[in-house]
Amino acid sequence: MKHHHDLCPAIGTVPFARDLADHGDRTAVITSDGTMTYRELAARVEATARKLGTERRLVLLAGANDPEALVVYLAALSAGHPVLLVPGGNDEALRSLTAAYDPDVVARPDDGEWVIDERRVTSAHTLHPDLALLLSTSGSTGSPKLVRLSHDNLQANAESIAMYLGIRDSDRAATTLPMHYCYGLSVINSHLLRGAGLVLTGLSVADTCFWDLFRAGRGTSFAGVPYTFDLLDRVGFDGMRLPHLRYITQAGGRLAPERVARFAERGLRDGRDLFVMYGQTEATARMAYLPPELAASRPEAIGIPVPGGSFRLDPHPDWPGRDTGELVYTGPNVMLGYAESPSDLRLGRTVEELPTGDIARRADDGLYEVIGRRSSFAKILGLRVDPQQVETMLERHGIPACCLGADDELVVAVTGDADATHIRRLVAAECGLPPSAIRVLVLTELPRLASGKPDYRAVRELTHDDTPGTRHEQAGPAAGSDPVDLCRLYAEILDRTDVTEDSSFVGLGGDSLSYVEMSLRLEETLGHLPADWHTLPIRELEPAPRPARSCRRRTVETGVVLRAVSIVLIVGSHIHLFGIKGGAHLLLAVAGFNFARFHLTSEEHRDRIRHLWRSIAGIAVPSVVWIALVRLLTDEYTIATLLLYETVVGRPDGGTPHFWFIEALLYILVAVAALLAIPAMDRLQQRFAFGFPMALMSLGLVTRYDLFGIGAHDRLPSAAVVPWLFALGWAAAKAASWRQRLIVTVAAVATVPGFFQDEPWREVLIIAGFALLVWVPSLPCPRLLSRVAGVLATGSMYIYLTHWQVFPRLEGQFAVVALLASLAFGVGYAAMATRATRWLHTVRFRAPAVRVR
């Protein structure tokens, strides 16, 4: 048997793994269990290296973001043992690659303890002296096709990355990506090279504990694939206080240019950089980066080659044009070549440059832009997936299939009576993708070209229509919560015909008028709703496990409770059943809170403004219709009332305008819509999510305190007086830290007192409501009362509109009867108005055509 020492007497090693002790007592690793210095890490690495021995062996390592896996990885590299890095937690990949490559040593966790299983004392393979690392070409799969990387590849790419990122020994990077993924591994390598720290964790950025550890570890950077940035939007990253964060890196797939620009601009605001990067496993990790100062102005570009690397463009017949072609990379980080069996481990360098498979162009400013793809590889949720490998795997199970990447999902076309759930499970295990990213098309037969080869273009077209004989099977909730049914529910409540499983409530234009009904209907269906359900795609809404009877406890969002309580207080005080006032002013704050939640989303600017105008119409039209009907039948209202400007001209009898609240809310919303329609203002509110509404609140104090003596304060219900309450509610929704929530609370305590002369309890009610809105997301509530609260909250505007015509006609009756009748009539009008809207929508569009994707 021929071993390494027969080829070369000197064992190659990786300097950054070998020289850990040079960094002394600097902090190397931070975990939730404590810290480890470089000196301590080096000692553990040296001990493990001694156990691995001096005879080179192939070490299969189940990669994980924990100290044990890190130590084995560094020990193997420092002692010259090639590492075959596989995804930890993926038993199928572990078994598959163990069978395919017969490693000499297997390092993996077993029942919570790390074990190093020495299967033989000398290698069964011929290992080339330069071979240092083997990574899968397809992310988390068990594909036997591996990338062969050398010691020089790892060192050169780590040095290149550390150079253009400007990594300092004081930096501390969080491991937001898996160790077995070349992008995640490059973060580890480049920071160890510079003696920087690693905040080592397997937690998701969607987990609050991740951010607690990041702050405690004084994290200065983290890496993200496009899906990571989706999660950042959901968890309110823009409002987080991260005082040590210097920069964020992005790779692993294309992030939409508008999102690149948005995150870059936010970074400029908060004093941090965004590095957009481009790479492949075959280049160890990185090939290009976009200088952060260009991210906002050139977000569509991948940038320039990393230090030490270079690009050229090879002409491609399908992509003619000047400075356009297939992107080819050359540099010291280009792999040795591929391995498809153990016999390939003896090979040295078989490639000198890397054809990326991407079609690119070089712009006049010297930046490269990727504009297309030559091959069928797809990046889905940051994982590089080979659809042909998936086809091969399914064929082994006796399932003929056509697979391709489409958008952010893998499409699998099969035939006959195939079990879509079984297929999805097989593919998820093969690729490491979540089931929600796998769509199964069950066809009567697979489309073929005349040559007999699969017709992938036809399969792609089938993903966009509902051709007879095609059944779309998508992973999603079960037990009465099928995605198709959820899509129909969204279409029904939101009057939309374009609902897909990728749609979200806010993305479809949902607002506070439809939110309560939608949340209650969904909670009945799913059993529980996450706090950010209104921003989640339908496909991600899953049923909660059924709890034990003793654990069944229902909660209702505080905003819903405040709307319900406020409308009861408004009507009750008008009837003089009780004298608790302030409900309408509290509703203005809730309106600002809901405005921020439903209209200040990550959608395109134009779409957000359009949805806002639609919501404004949803308030104005039912109000005008009702007032017109009453005016037609009685003489109660004037033209000024009908046209909703009575607060401007005043009532003839000098009384308080009946609909001052609706007029004030409409004027405020129109003013905000006009303000945010200005792109510069919209960018400001995105950059200063909390500061912007607080600035508007401060501006509103001019009329709140009548600082210019315009006399607006003489008419309390005037729209000119109350905008500060709306802005404060807006700020409450954007308060992402306890300090910001405290600022909102203090602002309410400081500005509400004195607004109502000699009515301190009115002010107490408003302040207490603000405090609940800011500090208590939901309130426990019995099921029956939660349903009642939901109905009243949904119909609150309609109750406010109609109660003036109900309770005066019942003044001779018991006041409670007048209250209940007013509430019931308003709820009835709400139901009628909603049905009328849906009927008009149905007449216009015939029927909702829900397209399930």
Q: Which helix (H) or strand (E) holds 387?
A: helix 387-396
Amino acid at 478: A
In a shared domain, residues 251 and 352: yes
Count of CB atoms situated within 10 Å of the CB of 611? 20
Residue 522 within a domain: no
Residue 92 within a domain: yes
Residue 202 within a domain: yes
Choosing from 455, 474, 493, the residue where a domain stops is 474
Give residue 630's domain range: 558-782+794-837
In a shared domain, residues 364 and 424: no
In a shared domain, residues 470 and 336: no
In a shared domain, residues 326 and 424: no
Choosing from 325, 347, 372, the residue where a domain stops is 372
In a shared domain, residues 170 and 106: yes
Which CATH number is 361's domain given? 3.40.50.12780
In a shared domain, residues 355 and 412: no
Return the pLDDT at 480: 38
In a shared domain, residues 311 and 408: no
Which CATH number is 433's domain given? 3.30.300.30
Residue 845 within a domain: no
CB 30 within 8 Å of CB 198: yes
In a shared domain, residues 343 and 467: no
Amino acid at 829: Y
Domain tally, the chain: 3
In a shared domain, residues 455 and 346: no
Residue 549 within a domain: no
Residue 523 within a domain: no
Give which of 588, 214, 776, 216 is closest to 224, Cα–Cα: 214
In a shared domain, residues 683 and 709: yes
Return the pLDDT at 811: 62
Residue 765 within a domain: yes
Residue 521 within a domain: no
In a shared domain, residues 754 and 816: yes
Return the pLDDT at 219: 97
End-to-end CA distance of the chain, in Å?
55
Give which of 274, 264, 220 is closest to 242, Cα–Cα: 220
In a shared domain, residues 143 and 233: yes
**What whole-number distance in Å separates Cα of residue 109 and Cα of residue 116?**
9
Low-confidence ranges of the chain (pLDDT < 50): 1-10, 140-141, 450-451, 467-469, 474-481, 545-553, 712-716, 841-853
Amino acid at 27: T
Choosing from 326, 348, 372, the residue where a domain stops is 372
Beta strand residue intervals within 137-252, DSSP E? 146-150, 172-174, 197-199, 221-224, 247-250
- Which residues, at least 6 apart from 324, have a Cβ–Cβ distance to it below 8 Å? 313, 316, 359, 360, 361, 371
Return the pLDDT at 405: 81
